[in-house]
Amino acid sequence: MKRHQYQPDALIEVLHKAQELFGYLELDLLLHIAHSLKLPPSHVYGVATFYHFFALKPAGAHTCVICMGTACYVKGAASLLSTVEQMAQIQAGETTADGQLSLSTARCLGACGSAPAVVIDGDVMGYQTPETLGALLTIHVQSPGEEEAQ
Ligand code: FES
């Protein structure tokens, strides 16, 4: 904020930097930014929730992003998404209760030639099927039965 002279129009840059520093944007942090930039807290909260790249909760230990862009969608992205949702028992935008996996969607990963594509822990992986994606995630996702057994 200091680098931007506390200018209100630097809000998006400030939110990016804050997320980079803290991993996610918790409410107290948003209030601090709103106060420092002299913006209404509702405006800061609205911006933070509007853009999908801002997270208001800590991410899981592992992340899975499923591309729902046109190229991926026509090649079966919806079945990839439902596979992960069933495996992890979460919806897109959520993190498993054990904090192991965060699931989200994207509009295009820039890998349309290898559709359908996903990003797991930052690595783009194309030509996925429900079976290959399920196998990839097996090491990351703990079934509820296993969790209860612990
Ligand atoms: S539409 Fe999925 S990578 Fe472009």
Q: Where does the pLDDT of residue 142 fall: very low under 50, low under 70, confident under 90, or very high at 90 and above?
A: low
- Please say if the pLDDT value at position 146 is more than 80: no
DSSP 8-state assignment for residue 7: -
Q: What is the largest distance, in Å, between two alpha-carbon atoms of the chain? A: 53
Q: Which fold has domain 62-142?
A: Glutaredoxin (3.40.30)
The binding-site residues of ligand 1, defined as CB within 6 angstroms of any ligand atom, are: 67, 69-72, 108-112, 115, 117
* pTM, two decimal places: 0.70
User: Is residue 112 annotated as involved in ligand binding?
Assistant: yes
Residues of the chain with CATH 3.40.30.10: 62-142
DSSP string, 30-80: HHHHHHHTT--HHHHHHHHHHSTT--SSPPPSEEEEEE-SHHHHHTTHHHH
Q: How confident is residue 58, by pLDDT bands cut at 50, 70 and 90?
A: confident
Question: What does the chain come to in residues?
Answer: 150
Ligand 1 geometric centre to CA of 11 (Å): 29
**Mean pLDDT for the stretch of residues 15-36:** 94
pLDDT of amino acid 17: 95
Q: Is 64 annotated to bind ligand? A: no
